[in-house]
Amino acid sequence: MIDESILEDIMKIKGYRAAAISTNAGELIISDTQKLKTDLSEVSATFNDIFVDAHGVSKQMGLGAAQLMEIHTEGAVALMLCSGEEARVHLHMFAIFTLDGNVTLAKMAIKKILPKAVDLLA
């Protein structure tokens, strides 16, 4: 079983706003939205669609599946990482950070969280 405690490390990083883990189809498994004033399940599903499209386009180009997507907006940075299409459980993780947040540390945290989530759900 998986619960919000899996997100504790990323929640401590400077600039953290929200995080979610979903299936590769966009079904939300776990999320934390305490610092975000919107429905993260809807936002996560939308970004998941964009990420899935990026998977397809990058594969068509012969580059392989997309592993990381980083979008910078006027007010935040949105990250999405993939556990890998060949993982026992194909997951996507989505996180939002402020512009002055530690995005590099967030990427490192996500790369640790996703394998744990796969192990818990496999």
pTM of this prediction? 0.89
CA distance 61 to 74: 30
CA 44 to chain centre: 8
Higher-confidence residue of 40 and 4: namely 4
Give tens-digit pLDDT for 31-51: 887 777 777 778 778 888 888
How far, in Å, are 12, 21, 28, 53, 74 from residue 91 at the CA level?
Answer: 22, 7, 10, 15, 28
Q: Is 3.30.450.30 the CATH classification of the domain at 4-121?
A: yes
